[in-house]
Amino acid sequence: MVWCKSIDEIIDMKFICNPMQDKIKEIREQSNAFEIIDLESAEQYRLKFLVKKGLINLLFQEFRSVEPEKKKKFGAELNVLKKELESKHKEGLQSLNKSESNEDNTSLDLPAYFNDLGSRHPISHTIEHMTEIFERLGFDVVSGPEIEDDWHNFSALNFPKNHPARDMQDTFFVDKDHALRTHTSSVQVRLMENTKPPIRSIMPGRVYRNEAISARSNCFFHQVEGLYIDEEVSFSDLKQTLYQFVQEFFGPDTKVRFRASYFPFTEPSAEMDIYLGLETESDARLTKGTGWLEILGCGMVDVNVLENCGIDPSKYTGFAFGLGVDRIAMLKYGVKDLRTFFYNDKRFLSQFSSL
């Protein structure tokens, strides 16, 4: 056995007796003895060893007063220890995560998680169906803002200054000059102002009116309005387009009728009804006992409106129409209360998930 030690070894021996060396050893031992078994113990480990006031940082503070010639050795050892502790914490957390996800994947007894798949809203679906039919008839789709100024929602459309539709009771005003649009005819004005005829477009969108909320009416609803402007567009073009639409949407045998009506922005104006009959109780209710259900307003664009929008009425004529989407969706899906479309109740909406 060789008892004699080299100078280096003797210096090393001295280090072994150094308090810093002892502390490094002790902390390492404490760390090794610490078991990270769950999130709570992982956090306790972090608090004990790794935070600013934890053991490793205390040691770094003491390190400042170590004699200069020993700094290199202890500095290196301290850094190794710090890395060790950090990776123990990190690996502890990782294996906790893993074991959690293993549980989910491997336990065959657990009930399966079913992802709720979203579906198109019945109102969106109705708008899409309408749009698709009008696109086939040569209409394109345009949209516009829901907050409108007086000009686009009313004045350009020939509403007299004292027209009741401007009244606070019908319109949600945002400020003195702006309101939530009460119809998508405002988009027609924007289109006419910015486009040279021929124009053949539909404007689907949400509109707002300050109406009492009930099973049949709401303070917001949806419209698909349409506009066709070109040379020699006539009322019979209007009728033909709407007939075509109704036959595609409601079926080839659907009976319709036009009734004379009034809108400030069309002249002549009409409303179109479809015949539902009186066979079921709900038909009777929806049609108020007549068998006929009004589904749209329409007419030839008023000369004043064309002029307001910079279109020459001596050269161009046009027709416009506006369909109410929500009522048609009620009819299509047999929904008795309009409000149920907008409660966002999954039990209601999931019934349309195959659309």
Provide φ and ψ at 58, rounded to 5°: -60, -40
Backbone angles phi, psi at 165, to 5 degrees: -65, -20
Show the site string, 182-201: x = touches ligand PHE by CB under 6 A, - = not: -x-x----------------
Residue 183 or 200: the one with the smaller Cβ distance to ligand PHE is 183
Stretch that binds ligand PHE, among 33-41, 274-282, 297-305, 342-350 (CB under 6 A): 297-305
Distance from C-alpha of 226 to C-alpha of 203, rounded to nearest angstrom: 6
**How many residues lie near ligand PHE (CB under 6 A)?**
11
Nearer to ligand PHE, 81 or 233 (CB): 233
92 is a site residue for ligand PHE (CB under 6 A): no
Residues 165-184 that bind ligand PHE (CB under 6 A): 183
What CA dihedral angle connects 26, 28, 30 and 36, to 10 degrees?
170
Query: Of the ranges 38-46, 92-100, 192-200, 319-327, which one interacts with ligand PHE (CB under 6 A)?
Result: 319-327
Q: Would you state the torsion angle of the CA atoms of residues 254, 258, 262, 263, taken in this order, to the nearest 10 degrees? A: 40
Residue nearest to ligand PHE (CB): 322
Q: Is 241 in the site for ligand PHE (CB under 6 A)?
A: no
Q: What does the alpha-carbon distance between residue 205 and residue 188 come to, in Å, rounded to a whole number?
A: 12
- Tokens representing 332 are 């299509």
322 touches ligand PHE by CB under 6 A: yes
Binding segment for ligand PHE (CB under 6 A), chosen from 117-125, 193-201, 240-248, 318-326, is 318-326
| Amino acid in the structure at residue 220 | F
- For 67, phi then psi, to 5°, come to -60, 145
By three-state DSSP, how is residue 79 classified?
Answer: helix
Could you say whether residue 297 binds ligand PHE (CB under 6 A)?
A: yes
**CA 26, chain centre distance (Å):** 58
Question: Minimum Å distance from CB 104 to ligand PHE?
Answer: 53
Instruction: Select 20 or 270, whichever has its Cβ closest to ligand PHE.
Output: 270
Identify whether the C-beta of residue 120 lies closer than 8 Å to the C-beta of residue 348: no
Site residues, ligand PHE (CB under 6 A): 183, 185, 225, 263, 266, 297-299, 320-322
